[in-house]
Amino acid sequence: MPKPVLPRHVAIIMDGNGRWAKQHALSVMIGHRKGVEALREIIRFSSDVGIQVLSLYAFSTENWSRPEAEVSALMRLIEEYFKSEIDELHQNRVRIRILGNKYGLTAPARDAAIAAEEHTASNTGLQLNIALNYGARDEILRAVRMLCEQTVSNRTAFEALDWAGFSAGLYTAGQPDVDLLIRTSGEQRLSNFLLCQCAYAEMMFPQKLWPDFTVADYQEALDSFARRERRFGGRNL
């Protein structure tokens, strides 16, 4: 019996921590911590089943507008996450890549993120993209600026530009585009996440809030993906 088709690249918008906390009459930071517990299991499972790339939307450029106390607590949680999880991730050969302007994070969170990238740089297992201080529009502008610098005085190079050249300026350079995007909590929008990379992604919007999202729910999404017919704009006759 053939193995089910796995997506090479899964992207997850981990939505619903705050609503979960409100439903349980708890603080929003407890909701975020419960979200980290769910995240841990999804990463382990992704590595075990052979997903090549897992991209996680952890902190967007828009999240800075949240209450100062919540933002400060999230920065501490990011720092704590990398320091507490790095040994297991490294042992499982997970390679971490930060998507976004990590230099805009608080110094402790930034340093922990950079240390995690460097510590796992030679690993050959699951590629774990963690989007921090990330926005897709900013990413696109960054890629355009890089291309302008390379081609401003070279018309031949400018006219030869193609998607491969443009995508080399994205944070995900060298990785496959997203095959499956999952957003928990039932919300159905991308919220400025991997806009270019999701051009042909299959999208699923389970109703569960992120802290309640289990490996069984994830497997259900993978099974649904395997049953879908992907035509990439063509038609199967």
Active-site pick, 63, 92, 101, 192: 63
Q: Are 213 and 37 in contact (CB under 8 A)?
A: no
pTM across the whole model? 0.93
**How much is the mean pLDDT over the chain?**
94
Place of tokens 């090479």: 8
Does the pLDDT value for residue 233 go beyond 70? no
Active-site pick, 15, 177, 179, 217: 15
Return d(Cα 166, Cα 169) in angstroms, integer: 6
232 band by pLDDT with thresholds 50, 70 and 90: low
Which CATH code, of 3.40.1180.10, 3.90.1300.10, 3.40.50.1390, 1.10.10.60, is assigned to 9-135+177-227?
A: 3.40.1180.10
Q: Are 170 and 137 in contact (CB under 8 A)?
A: no
3-state secondary structure of 33: helix
Return d(Cα 44, Cα 148) in angstroms, integer: 40
Return d(Cα 9, Cα 12) in angstroms, integer: 10
Is-catalytic flag, 92?
no
State the DSSP H helix or E strand holding residue 98, giving kind and residue range, or none if neither. strand 95-99
Does the pLDDT value for residue 109 go beyond 90? yes
Query: What is the percentage of the chain residues whose pLDDT exceeds 70?
Result: 95
Does the pLDDT value for residue 234 go beyond 70? no
Is-catalytic flag, 177?
no
